[in-house]
């Protein structure tokens, strides 16, 4: 396992983290979750991510039982959760009036409930699961700062905030001498690149912001299991086909007007994986991990043995030569263009990712 500093902090997280969004929807699989956490820990994974909304709190309950059952020393774990929705937003369950958003009331009450579910005395990181347009940002920041002062959390971060929103938060923190957010949790994978590779560049440069990226395998689409356009039994898009969130993913990638091009792309990536001697899953994970702006890439698993394959992705990173990266970009055809070359007034094609695949000096080898 490789460990990386979480941005401009002294805490180190495993380059691959474990999340439990989908497992959090299945309370009948708690014993399986214990085995998945046991496997992750044995492979050196120390970063475990969940949220108050995962399965109406079931995700936090599962982790709490697993940590207790396995007797993992607390100091060896980096545990994060997220606050915004007290219940998952992708269901029809009615939310109470103060169970959504980033008011002081919901943040403090929500963190305390999360700690009870997780059976922990403190959380290492708590994220604002989304930006709250209705609550004064100063109120939100002061609530997190108070939780840090009380020792209930160590750090706070953001998830899917814009660069401007994060800069605004940091300005308030600087003005009021409050603890700023230390990391952002955005989606980042071969199919979703623009925000991470372009918008957040100044945050990474100016503040050395950490990142705990989610969906590095794009909901399993990049694993190779859907290369024939079918959804095999046991696969995510089959098992969770009634999920509103996964229906959105299906519509985004597998709609009739998009499916043909998608399958060509996926099969071409499969050929690249075969060429360098890895699985398609490992290629997709290694591609994310090669970017030095990534502190940790959060993956999930429905079976413990899946983590063996995923962790081996770290060995594939060194196989992503400039030639292989160029071939991948030609397949994806979504390489962001950054900045302007003022000599020609044309987009500068030297993108941030190309400069970042060399490991950061702060990564712990």
pLDDT more than 90, % of the chain:
74
User: H or E stretch including 265?
Assistant: helix 256-276
The count of domains in the chain is: 1
Which pair of structure tokens corresponds to residue 103?
A: 């008011």
pLDDT digits (tens, 9 = 90+) for 309-339: 999 999 999 999 999 999 999 999 999 877 6
Q: What is the pLDDT of residue 360?
A: 43
The CA distance from 227 to 217, in Å, is: 14
In a domain, 90, yes or no: yes
The CA distance from 180 to 151, in Å, is: 16
The CA distance from 258 to 246, in Å, is: 16
Is residue 155 flagged as an active site residue? no
Do the beta carbons of residue 153 and residue 111 sit within 8 Å?
yes
In a domain, 281, yes or no: no
Give the number of C-alpha atoms closer than 13 A to the C-alpha of residue 193, restricted to the C-beta side: 19
Predicted confidence (pLDDT) at residue 352 exceeds the cutoff of 90: no
The CA distance from 253 to 263, in Å, is: 10
Q: Determine the structural domain holding residue 139 and report its residue range.
A: 1-185
Give Cα 26 to chain centroid, integer Å: 20
Confidence of residue 361 (pLDDT cuts 50, 70, 90): very low
Section 341-359 average pLDDT: 65
Q: What is the pLDDT of residue 55?
A: 85
Predicted confidence (pLDDT) at residue 88 exceeds the cutoff of 60: no
DSSP 198: I
Q: What is the pLDDT of residue 337?
A: 78
- Integer CA distances (angstroms), 301 to 14, 33, 252, 279, 308, in order: 16, 9, 23, 16, 10
Which pair of structure tokens corresponds to residue 159?
A: 């998830």
In a domain, 298, yes or no: no
Catalytic residue from among 3, 21, 54, 200: 54
In a domain, 340, yes or no: no
pLDDT digits (tens, 9 = 90+) for 148-198: 999 999 999 999 999 999 999 999 999 999 999 999 999 999 999 999 999
In a domain, 66, yes or no: yes
Predicted confidence (pLDDT) at residue 65 exceeds the cutoff of 80: yes
In a domain, 308, yes or no: no
CATH number, domain with residue 62: 3.20.20.100
Section 272-298 average pLDDT: 98
Confidence of residue 89 (pLDDT cuts 50, 70, 90): low
How many other CB atoms are there within 10 angstroms of residue 255's CB atom? 10
3-state class (DSSP) for residue 223: helix
201 phi/psi in degrees, rounded to 5 = -55, -45
In a domain, 20, yes or no: yes
Average pLDDT over the chain reads: 90
Q: What is the pLDDT of residue 365?
A: 40
Predicted confidence (pLDDT) at residue 144 exceeds the cutoff of 90: yes
In a domain, 203, yes or no: no
- Bridge partner residues of 79 (DSSP): 48
């Amino acid at each position: 396992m490789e460990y990386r500093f979480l941005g401009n902090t002294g805490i180190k997280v495993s380059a691959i983290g474990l999340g439990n969004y989908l497992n959090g929807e299945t309370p009948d699989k708690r014993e399986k979750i214990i085995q998945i956490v046991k496997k992750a820990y044995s492979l050196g994974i120390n970063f475990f991510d969940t949220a108050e909304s995962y399965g109406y709190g079931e995700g936090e309950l599962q982790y709490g039982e697993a940590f207790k059952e396995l007797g993992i020393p607390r100091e060896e774990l980096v545990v994060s959760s997220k606050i915004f929705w007290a219940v998952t937003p992708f269901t029809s369950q009615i939310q109470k009036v103060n169970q959504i958003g980033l008011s002081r009331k919901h943040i403090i009450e929500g963190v305390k409930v999360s700690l009870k579910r997780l059976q922990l005395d403190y959380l290492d990181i708590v994220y604002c699961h989304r930006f709250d347009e209705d609550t004064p940002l100063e109120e939100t920041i002061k609530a997190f700062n108070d939780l840090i002062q009380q020792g209930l959390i160590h750090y706070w971060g953001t998830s899917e905030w814009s660069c401007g929103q994060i800069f605004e938060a940091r300005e308030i923190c600087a003005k009021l001498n409050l603890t700023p957010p230390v990391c952002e949790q955005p989606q980042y994978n071969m199919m979703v690149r623009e925000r991470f590779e372009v918008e957040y560049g100044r945050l990474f440069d100016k503040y050395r912001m950490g990142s705990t990226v989610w969906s590095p395998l794009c909901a399993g689409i990049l694993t190779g299991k859907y290369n024939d356009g079918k959804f095999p039994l046991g696969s995510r898009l089959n098992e969770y086909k009634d999920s509103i969130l996964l229906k959105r993913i299906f519509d985004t990638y597998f709609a009739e007007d998009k499916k043909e091009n998608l399958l060509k792309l996926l099969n071409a990536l499969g050929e690249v994986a075969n060429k360098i001697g890895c699985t398609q899953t490992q290629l997709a994970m290694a591609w994310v991990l090669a970017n030095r702006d990534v502190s940790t890439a959060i993956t999930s698993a429905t079976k413990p043995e899946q983590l063996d394959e995923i962790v081996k992705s770290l060995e594939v990173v060194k196989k992503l030569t400039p030639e292989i990266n160029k071939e991948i970009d030609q397949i994806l055809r979504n390489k962001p263009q950054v900045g302007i070359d003022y000599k020609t007034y044309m987009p500068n094609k030297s993108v941030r990712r190309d400069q970042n695949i060399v490991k950061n000096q702060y990564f712990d080898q």
